[in-house]
């Protein structure tokens, strides 16, 4: 593979000496669960986001689960989720016996469509989980207004967007809770599983801290039924080594995205999505159309957004995605489909009432068109050129 989709060692190896020192410090202390190392990372990241509380968790998924538990989500409560996201967003809702109600997404930014979300609110709707997919914020000003109008709990899934911002502020810092993930392929990737929950609400944060540790406070006295959702000290110590570099990682991802977009837009086969939104429920779907009929549609940063580019996700319309995959494989360019099936079509949700399942037309279309290409910070200029050239060659041949 000339250009892998991901290269985790390329980021970690230059920090090997510092990481070894961090490992030895924790190893020799013998204190592996929560403790000082976790508290230091929590303080570091709370400062970074400008939130009052940051609470280390065993994974992004567990942070989301514990957020829903602390928010008091009950069986049969309805929770609005985008149909186009990683499974965990809706999986956590269902694990509590609550009902994910799938909302269509915007073809331009891949995120939950506010007007469709509002349409799907019923008397049972308790919460909404916008996801800031691929590193760009969902439409938070609109979503915060909807949550306020309908008295919904808002929990942000910022697993792919730690450090991204929208006109409303930092992703993960705007709802009752926000979560992020340290899965190794995320922008702030650990050496294993880990996650963090953010909140500005003192009462809510205290409840999360209890639930993270079996609902106990003090030890062995359980006011709540919680679980083991704790972050390891080792994981926290290793992550803390990377935090000072985080802004430069983001800047490099942004430079890589800008390189692709600049190179590719010089060719008529590439275009940006012009329509403000194509979700079928959205009033603006009658808006502008693309001028040309591009072979590949590029991702874009919306005005006044700080995009951190967890993925650079192309759309390949007209049933050409498989052909492009074959071409990229032959050229040694890594790629992946995030995500191949809209959540409203997943087998595990087929028992949900029909009003939960759609229609999510844009989500289904995206699932059939998207293809992500390498965007990690350590890509060389040569590697970026190989990717861009492979895409251009494909369009010229097809």
Q: Which residues lie near ligand PLP (CB under 6 A)? A: 59-61, 85-86, 88-89, 131, 157, 159-160, 181, 183, 193, 195
CB of 194 to ligand PLP, least distance (A): 7
CA-to-CA distance for 40 and 34, rounded, in angstroms? 10
Query: Smallest distance from the beta carbon of 71 to ligand PLP, in angstroms?
Result: 17
Comparing CB distances to ligand PLP, the nearer of 157 and 369 is 157
DSSP-derived 3-state class of residue 222: strand
Nearer to ligand PLP, 160 or 199 (CB): 160
Which residue has its beta carbon closest to ligand PLP?
60
* Nearest approach, Cβ of residue 385 and ligand PLP (Å): 28
Q: How far apart are CA 285 and CA 119, in angstroms?
A: 15
Neighbours of 87 (CB within 10 A): 15
Nearest distance from residue 7's CB to ligand PLP, in Å?
Answer: 18
Q: CB–CB of 157/163 below 8 Å? A: no
Residue with smaller CB distance to ligand PLP, 131 or 282: 131
With DSSP H G I counted as helix, E B as strand and the rest as coil, what are the percentages for the chain, rounded to 5? 40, 15, 40
Could you give the C-alpha distances from 340 to 183, 337, 368, 369, in angstroms and in order? Answer: 20, 6, 6, 9
Least separation, in Å, of the C-beta of 135 and ligand PLP? 10
Q: Closer to ligand PLP by CB, 138 or 146: give it.
A: 138
Query: Which residues sit opposite 101 in a β-bridge?
Result: 80
CB 133 within 8 A of CB 111: yes
Q: Residue 30 CB, nearest distance to ligand PLP (Å)?
A: 26
Say how many C-beta atoms besides its own lie within 10 A of residue 307's C-beta.
23
| Contact of 178 with 155, CB cutoff 8 Å | yes
Q: Which two tokens stand for residue 184?
A: 């190794």
Residue with Cβ nearer ligand PLP (188 or 279): 188
Asked if 111 and 87 count as a contact pair (C-beta separation under 8 A), the reply is no
Which CB atom, from 173 or from 296, has the smaller least distance to ligand PLP?
173
The H or E element that residue 257 is part of is helix 246-264
Shortest Cβ 195–ligand PLP spacing (Å): 5
Which residue lies nearer to ligand PLP by CB, 59 or 278?
Answer: 59
């Amino acid at each position: 593979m000339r250009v892998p989709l991901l290269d985790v060692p390329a980021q970690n190896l230059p920090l090997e000496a510092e990481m070894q020192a961090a490992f030895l410090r924790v190893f020799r202390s013998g204190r592996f669960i929560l403790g000082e190392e976790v508290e230091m990372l929590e303080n570091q990241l709370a400062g970074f986001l400008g939130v009052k509380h940051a609470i280390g968790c065993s994974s992004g998924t567990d942070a989301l689960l514990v957020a829903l538990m602390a928010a008091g989500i009950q069986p049969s409560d309805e929770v609005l989720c985008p149909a186009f996201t990683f499974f965990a967003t809706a999986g956590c809702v269902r694990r509590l016996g609550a009902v994910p109600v799938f909302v269509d997404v915007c073809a331009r930014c891949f995120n939950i469509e506010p007007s469709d979300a509002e349409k799907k609110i019923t008397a049972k709707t308790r919460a909404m989980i916008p996801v800031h997919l691929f590193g760009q914020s969902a439409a938070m000003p609109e979503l915060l207004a909807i949550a306020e109008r309908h008295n919904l709990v808002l929990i942000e899934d910022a697993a792919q967007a730690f450090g991204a911002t929208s006109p409303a502020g930092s992703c993960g810092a705007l709802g009752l809770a926000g979560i992020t993930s340290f899965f190794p392929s995320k922008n702030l990737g650990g050496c294993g599983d880990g996650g963090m929950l953010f909140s500005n609400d003192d009462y809510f944060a205290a409840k999360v801290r209890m639930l993270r540790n079996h609902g106990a406070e003090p030890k062995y006295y359980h006011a709540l039924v919680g679980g083991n959702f704790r972050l390891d000290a080792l994981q926290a110590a290793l992550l803390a080594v990377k935090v000072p570099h985080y802004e430069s990682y983001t800047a490099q991802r942004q430079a890589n995205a800008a390189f692709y977009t600049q190179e590719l837009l010089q060719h008529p086969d590439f275009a940006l999505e012009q329509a403000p939104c194509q979700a079928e429920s959205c009033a603006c779907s009658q808006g502008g159309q693309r001028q040309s009929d591009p072979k590949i549609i590029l991702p874009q940063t919306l005005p006044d957004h700080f995009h951190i580019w967890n993925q650079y996700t192309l759309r390949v319309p007209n049933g050409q995605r498989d052909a492009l995959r074959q071409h990229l494989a032959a050229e040694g360019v890594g790629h992946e489909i995030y995500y191949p099936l809209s959540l409203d079509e997943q087998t595990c949700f087929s028992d949900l009432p029909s009003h939960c399942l759609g229609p999510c037309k844009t989500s289904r279309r995206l699932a059939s068109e998207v293809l992500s290409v390498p965007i990690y910070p350590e890509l060389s200029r040569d590697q970026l050129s190989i990717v861009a050239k492979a895409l251009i060659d494909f369009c010229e041949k097809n």
